[in-house]
Structure formats: structure tokens, C-alpha cells
Structure 1
Amino acid sequence: MGNIRNAIVGLGRIGSLLEDDKLREKPCTHAGAVDLNSDCLLAAGCDLNKKKRELFKNRWKCTSVYENIGRMLQETSPDILHIATPPETHLEIVKTAVKHNVPLSICEKPLAHNLREAEQIAGIHSSGKMTILTNHERRYSRDYIRTKSIIEKKTFGDLLSINSKLYMEPEAKLKSTLLHDGTHLVDIVNYLLSSKLEKKSVFGSLETKTGTAFIFCRLKSLPVTIEIGTGRDHLLFELDLSFSSGRIRIGNGLYEEYASDKSPYYENINSLRKTNISGFNSTGYFSNMLIDAVKCFKNRARVPVSSAIDGYEAISFILSAI
């Protein structure tokens, strides 16, 4: 147990409860990440819901639980505040944290529910009043870090296109899926190329609760497609990266590399051959995010791997599409 004091506001799924999902890689919550980080101490938790406060208290043996965030910040003086509440609450919580001189916060995605508030949060980060990370967790995941390195080193030659798919809730509007979980997809594409997506056109309606829509984009000179789907009974988050001499498929529970080689099917033609690199037993996505936050706390000049500015850029792109 360390001495960097962490407090969490929002004790629901991503704040705490998902840690009891037996199938998920651990840690998979803010509380779980703090509990496993040797530099950190879980100082307090805050939620309007009494049952969630009690569950948090018992699960993490944390007796300092609050209904009021101002009181929690005043009485516990956290070094790192984890904001795991709905996006429409983020700006007000960030402002409250600044008033209580909290040096660093980790804000769940999406950064805010509209562009104006996202811009204000990013502005607070840029001003130096408080360092703000956006929990775009895939930036910290070993499989995506490897993919970024392969792109930069041109291991499989030039990257020529990215095709991505996101299927989520079967009865949600496509624009809702895009705004909430699509932020991860948009951000990870930005991260892989160290650039910003630009929307060119949309095929289909993002207002519907059935079917599929396609967003056609460019990132630098690279063509990128985003397929958003609903009406499915399953989750799918996947990127397919096509290189001049290879391919990578990456997503939730998926990592595959293919290299160009002499075809076993045709003379004088190459085919893609699956390499022996596939899957990661542990990606470290949540642990690495908190490690980055701790480094930023210790060195206020450090630029976070995933900052509020990155959160703003993802929302800016999505709102341009919807």
C-alpha cells in the first residue's frame, strides 16, 4: 500500500462493481487498479446511491464513503480523483475538484456530453490548474501499443487502410453507441497514427435503433471506415489494419498478425500467412493507465498518454458525424 491518496466518485460498474466479473481481465475498474498499485492508497469513495456506497465499503474495506463530493474532497484531500459518473456530470465535478486543489483527475469517457463542456474540461487541463487524464484505456493496452510500434517501424510495410466495427447494445440508437463506446474506437485510431480523424461522409442513419451505418473518414491520407451496428445480440469491437505486406486484426479478445508469403494456393502470387503471434493473456490496460496517472502526479510536467485534450478530440469528431 502506497501513500498517493485516491478517491473515486461514481461507485457503479467502471468505478468498482465490474471487478467481480469473473471473466474480465483484472484489474478492470478504478477501485481494482488502485488496490493493485503499490504507490496508491484507496482513501475514499463517493456515490449518491446508498447501496453502492455500502457495496464499495465492504468490497474494498474502505470506511470513508460519502454522498457529497465536496465533503469527501474537503475531508480526505485526494491526490488523484477518479471520475466514474455519467458524462453530463463531469464538468461540474472537475470544477469542484479544482476548487479543492486536487492536482490530478482521471475522467471516464466520454469526457463530456457535449462539445462545449468537453472544451472547458480540456481547457482546465491545458491551463495547468489540474492534470486531467481521459480513460481511453486501449492506449495503455499492450496489444495496441504493439500495433502502434508495428505501424511506426513499418514491420509489414506501409499501412494502407483501417476498417473498424462496433456493435453494442441491441436497442440503442446508433448515435448513442457512437458517443459512448465509439469514443474508444475513434480515440484508438487517433492514437495509432498520432493524428486526428476527419469525417468525409456518412452512409445510413445514426438515428435508427436497427441496422448499420458507415462513417467514411481520412486520417492524414489514410482511408478509414467506421461501421456502427445495432440489433445484434453480441458485442463486437474490432479494427482490421491492411498493410502493403501484412495485416493485423485487433479488438476485444482478438489479436492476429498476418505476413505476406509465397502462396500455397497459386504460383507466382503471395498470400497472407497467419504468424505465431496471437492473443495476449494480459494487456495491462487498466493497470498501465493508473501507472501513467501516478507518473503524472509525481511529475506535473509530464504529458499523459491519454489526456483531456484527446478526450475532446474524440468527442469533436463524433459530434461532427452525428
Structure 2
Amino acid sequence: MSRPPSTHRAAIIGTGRIASLLERDPLRPRPHTHAGWYAADPRTALVAGCDVDADRLAAFGIDWGIADASLHADYHRLLELERPDIVSVCAYAVDRVAMSRAAIAAGVRGLWIEKAVACTVEDGEALTREVAAAGAAAVVDYPRRLEPRYRAVSRWIREGTFGRLEAIHVLFSGHVVHTGTHAWDLLLAWCGPWVRVDADLDTPAHEAAASGDDHTRDAADAARYASALRDGIHDRGGRAHIVFEDGTEVFVTGGAKQYFVFQVDLVFSAGRVRIGNDVWEVATPADSPRYTGYRELAPVDPSTWMSPEDLVGGSVLGALLDAMTTGQAPALSLEAATRSLALGVAVMQAGLTRTTVTPSTLDRTLRIASI
């Protein structure tokens, strides 16, 4: 079936996992990738792709029916020849700002950028200003905030459904900026501005041991970290204590593990919520089965606490298309993404310097080169 002439022409720079390949995973819900969402939305047509990996690019073309002539190794050529309306920037973070700038200069009206949005806070802030000055729309890929469960948690915090939010424990496998950026986005949406950060970072030897890697790689990893200091810092795992302006304290446990995990445990004065990729639990006070006259937490069905408002989620692509149509800033904005990056950089800075970092002492030029 032919698409209407008003359909936005979309192109993807970087055709790897989140851009396309995850759509092949039989365990993932669909659509789940940039390409999958473009194919599913009648307002968009995926017309081109770019990647320096020729085999991956060819597979992308086959998967999405893209002609060889519209598969490019150079993103400048793609922008020049294809003239897309929307561009997904799914390459590594070290190139995302330059690619986004090139897309805006080529007249692209919508950007869907992967996270973390940049390697320095300074670059993220500059890109935010440049996109606004060009009159373009941009979103950064933080889909959890649009998902019904996370929307419910946000409302519960806002409305005080389970009393005052006292503390949060975040647990994830991976690195502080690359994986942690999902947590930073949620925490900022839930708790508002942060006021101070303390952190300890994992060493290469710790990461190798925790992930089950052969310890013979430790020396090579240490050399890699040392050489990286010339061009930026390599992302690492670590533990952090973050205090937010509203008084909420957050404890973070992130780093290499022999399993994949992303969970958030929220402790309220009148309840507890656990949410993550593999957990969705709510507990509220009830008469104790162990102590007469005491109340303890007992599990309840989370769905009974959800409202129709929570179920109206949407997609990242939908948020971008709405912003392109209305001219209003999307919830998943570049500005919000840069704040998330800043919190991740603050954790890295606190761990590297062994000092408390505040918004006024944050190093906006600190470059995390390996995101």
C-alpha cells in the first residue's frame, strides 16, 4: 500500500542493535527498535541507512527493504543524497553530536538520538541550543518514562499515594553513564534537581572479576584506561550516593555482573515499590502475621493502584512527531537528556576525584569517551 505524500522520510545512522537488530529477538516486544517503529507508524517511511560495517548495513537493507543505492557508508552522503525529514542517530556517543549537527545543517526537521546524548555535558548543552536555534525538534531515547508502569510510579510520587518518598536503591549491570543514564533520567523526572553526589568507581580488575572475565586481561584493561585519559575517561561501574533537592536519598549499585539486571526499589513512608525489567511489585501496610498490634508490608496487585492516565503511554517516535507538528518541546527533550548526562558525569567525577560533586562544581568538560 502506498504511503500518503505527507509521510516523513526517515533515515538511520548506525544500523546496529537498538537501530535494527533487536527486532530479530523473538523474546522482545515489537516494535522495539528505531527501524521497527518507523515501519509500524504510517506517518513515517524508512528510506535509508548508514553504517561503516558493510555486512551490518547490507543486513539492514534486507531486513527493511532498503535499496542498495540508499545504503551509505558515509553519513554526509546520506544526508546530501536522501534529504530525510527525520534522522535517527544510533552511532556511538563519541560521534552523536557531530552527526546531529550535520543533520540539522542538512535541513533535517526531526532528530531521534540515542543516549547518552553526548560525551560531555558542555557538548549536550551546545547541541540543545543549536537544535532550538534551527527550529528543529529532537528527542532522546528514554522509553521507560513513557511505559505505563513507570508512569504510574511517577504519579504515585507526585500524588503521595504511598506517603513521602524517603529513599531509592538503583541496581543495574553495566556502566555509570552508558547503562546508568536510564536511571538518571527516571530519578530526575521523579525527584527533581540533585544537590550532591558521592561515588566509588570500579577498577578494571574489579570489573573483570565481577563479570567472570579472565584475569589475564587485567593488565591490558589497565593500560587501555590509562591511555584513554588523553582523549577522555572510560565509562565504569560503581556505587553512588545521591541527594536530591526534595530530600530523597538514592543509593546506586551499578557495575559488571554475570547477569543482566535493571531494578529500582522505592521506599515510601507508607509503602514500597520495586520496578525493573524483571520485577513489578507493590507492598502496603497490613496487620502483621507475626507480631500482635504491629503492621508490616504486604504485597498487593500493582494494577489495582494504576489509573487510566498511567496507561496512556505513547512512543518515543510519537513524541518526536508531536513535537514536529506542534512546535512544543517534547518530554524526552535534549535538555532533559543533557541533565541526565550531567548526573552520570557527576557520579564519574565524584568517583575519579574522591570528592563530593555539586551542580556548581560539576565539570561540564569532563569527557566520558567510551559510552
Q: TM-score under structure 2 normalisation?
A: 0.78
Within the candidate set 324, 336, 339, 1:313 is matched to 339
Shift of 1:284: 9.6
Question: Counterpart in 2 of 1:173?
Answer: none
Q: 1:285 to 1:237 in 2, by over 3 A?
A: farther
Within the candidate set 297, 300, 308, 1:275 is matched to 300
The structure with the largest alpha-carbon Rg is 2
Q: What code does the residue aligned with 2:319 have?
A: D
Shift of 1:208: 4.1
Shift of 1:229: 2.6
What secondary structure is seen at the aligned counterpart in 2 of 1:82? strand
Q: What code does the residue aligned with 2:177 have?
A: L
Q: Deviations over 1:102-142 (max 9, x none)?
A: 11101101111222322221222343542221112211222
Within the candidate set 84, 88, 98, 1:82 is matched to 88
CA RMSD of aligned residues (A): 2.3
Q: Deviations over 1:19-59 (max 9, x none)?
A: 10111122221001111112211121111221122111110
Tell whether the 8 Å contact from 2:176 to 2:238 is kept in structure 1 after alignment.
no
Q: Deviations over 1:224-244 (max 9, x none)?
A: 1111132x2101111101111
Q: What code does the residue aligned with 2:193 have?
A: K
After alignment, is 71-80 or 56-65 more displaced?
71-80
How high is the sequence identity, in percent, across the aligned residues?
24
Shift of 1:285: 11
What are the within-5 Å matches in structure 2 for residues 6-25 of structure 1? 6-25=10-29
What secondary structure is seen at the aligned counterpart in 1 of 2:315? helix
Q: What code does the residue aligned with 2:161 have?
A: T
User: Which ranges in structure 2 are unaligned for 5 or more consecutive residues?
Assistant: 211-236, 349-371
Q: 1:85 to 1:285 in 2, by over 3 A?
A: farther
CA distance in 2, matches of 1:287, 1:32: 15
Shift of 1:286: 10
Shift of 1:209: 4.5
What are the within-5 Å matches in structure 2 for residues 126-275 of structure 1? 126-168=132-174, 177-193=175-191, 195-202=192-199, 204-210=200-206, 213-220=238-245, 221-230=247-256, 232-275=257-300
Q: Deviations over 1:48-83 (max 9, x none)?
A: 221122111110112222222222223322221110
What are the within-5 Å matches in structure 2 for residues 111-122 of structure 1? 111-122=117-128
Q: 1:86 to 1:98 in 2, by over 3 A?
A: same
Shift of 1:217: 0.8
Shift of 1:205: 3.0
Question: Counterpart in 1 of 2:230?
Answer: none
Equivalent residue pairs, number: 308
Question: Counterpart in 1 of 2:98?
Answer: 92
Shift of 1:201: 1.7
Q: 1:200 to 1:179 in 2, by over 3 A?
A: closer
Question: Counterpart in 2 of 1:108?
Answer: 114
What secondary structure is seen at the aligned counterpart in 1 of 2:331? coil
CA distance in 2, matches of 1:208, 1:305: 36
Question: Counterpart in 1 of 2:324?
Answer: 297
CA distance in 2, matches of 1:121, 1:258: 42
CA distance in 2, matches of 1:38, 1:258: 41
CA distance in 1, matches of 2:258, 2:185: 25
Q: 1:60 to 1:43 in 2, by over 3 A?
A: same
Q: What code does the residue aligned with 1:267 have?
A: T
Q: TM-score under structure 1 normalisation?
A: 0.89
CA distance in 1, matches of 2:101, 2:285: 52
Tell whether the 8 Å contact from 1:34 to 1:40 is kept in structure 2 after alignment.
yes
Tell whether the 8 Å contact from 1:159 to 1:241 is kept in structure 2 after alignment.
yes
What secondary structure is seen at the aligned counterpart in 2 of 1:179? coil
Instruction: Compare the two structures and name the one with the higher strand fraction.
Output: 1
